Amino acid sequence: MSVLVVGSIALDTVKTPVEEHTDQLCGSASYAAVGASFFSPVQLVGVVGDDFPEAEFEFWKSRKIDASGVQRVRGKTFRWSGEYAWDLNTHETRSVALNVFENFQPKLPEDFRKAEFVLLANIAPSLQSHVLDQVCRPRFVVADTMDLWIETTRKDLDALLPRIDLLILNDSEAREMTKDTSLIRAGRSIRRMGPKYVAVKKGEHGALLFGPDDFFSCGAYPLEDIHDPTGAGDTFAGGLAGYLAGQESEEVDFAQLRRAVIFGSVLASFNVEAFSLNRLRRLTMEEIEERYKMFRVMSQFEVLP
């Protein structure tokens, strides 16, 4: 089964205390689509300007990412520029130029409307809803969000929540959204706002998954060096949704979701090893499976005798 991915496509300039790279392929949909493509075919929806490198379309093709939903319009591609602090945990936005993204109205090609798995990568919740309006009968919808939408378009976000199956957000966003300092209570309250499942990303501390009757907690892969944290969350969402779409069973169950969270974490752990999508471009399925196994080793302990 393929997964429909919609989100932003951007050319970012990212500075860390060690390196700086200019006009690199970034954006939530870029990371999510490539992350998902390791597990299932992808239908990509987004917008780029006439300055967008043709080579990226070739790259998508090589990864079985159908980019017929990517509108190419006159003007410049969305650009973001930011600088990370020395601990790579916080960053400062230096500039944002929405450019062609400003008037983006996602329009699904006819054959994308039949999508069963949908990943609404991080964009305004009104756009996420607008995409859902065009999908005939989605079977499982994952949405990623961020503090900006919680703070500025909360009504739109609230309207989206009952329409999705899984919401992904990070720990501080879960706290902000519920005004609750307990992550456990926060995860459970967000479920009551609509989504059947909630995944809370905690960066170096791993992730939590809340379901109707189940709870899952996993650590993060023990990386010593992070080169560029940009897109880690988007890649997590992509790996997770791609893995679910790639399964053959009728229903998404909690056991699948646990594995999906691990695969999302694995993909994210690779992504931060290099700038932009550079690590994902040369990543292999063998490397992914190897790291999945490492996740098991690092989290295993025996039953009681």
Which residues are near a second copy by CB under 8 A? 86-89, 181-185, 188, 202, 204-206, 208, 215-220, 222-226, 255, 258-259, 261-262, 289, 292-293, 295-296, 298-304
| DSSP designation for 102 | G
Contact call for residues 28 and 234 (beta carbons, < 8 A)? yes
Nearest alpha-carbon partner for 271 in 241, 243, 229 = 229
71 phi and psi, to 5 degrees?
-75, 135
Contact call for residues 206 and 219 (beta carbons, < 8 A)? yes
Contact call for residues 165 and 252 (beta carbons, < 8 A)? yes
Contact call for residues 74 and 49 (beta carbons, < 8 A)? yes
Element (H, E) at 156: helix 154-160
Minimum separation from the CB atom of position 219 to a second copy (A) = 3
Contact call for residues 100 and 72 (beta carbons, < 8 A)? no
Minimum separation from the CB atom of position 32 to a second copy (A) = 22
User: What tokens appear for 93 in the block?
Assistant: 């936005």
By beta-carbon proximity to a second copy, the closer residue of 103 and 182 is: 182
Minimum separation from the CB atom of position 227 to a second copy (A) = 12
Give the relative orientation of helices 232-245 and 28-36 as an angle to the nearest 10 degrees.
Answer: 40
Contact call for residues 165 and 196 (beta carbons, < 8 A)? yes
Minimum separation from the CB atom of position 299 to a second copy (A) = 5
By beta-carbon proximity to a second copy, the closer residue of 141 and 262 is: 262
Minimum separation from the CB atom of position 43 to a second copy (A) = 26
Nearest alpha-carbon partner for 184 in 158, 217, 149, 153 = 217
By beta-carbon proximity to a second copy, the closer residue of 194 and 219 is: 219
At 192, is the secondary structure helix, strand, or coil? helix
By beta-carbon proximity to a second copy, the closer residue of 196 and 258 is: 258
Contact call for residues 12 and 80 (beta carbons, < 8 A)? yes
Residues found in the chain: 305
By beta-carbon proximity to a second copy, the closer residue of 69 and 211 is: 211
By beta-carbon proximity to a second copy, the closer residue of 34 and 183 is: 183
Minimum separation from the CB atom of position 230 to a second copy (A) = 17
Minimum separation from the CB atom of position 155 to a second copy (A) = 27
By beta-carbon proximity to a second copy, the closer residue of 46 and 246 is: 246
104 phi and psi, to 5 degrees?
-65, 125
User: What tokens appear for 277 in the block?
Assistant: 């999508």
Residues 169, 277: Cα–Cα separation, whole Å: 21
By beta-carbon proximity to a second copy, the closer residue of 162 and 305 is: 305
Minimum separation from the CB atom of position 167 to a second copy (A) = 18
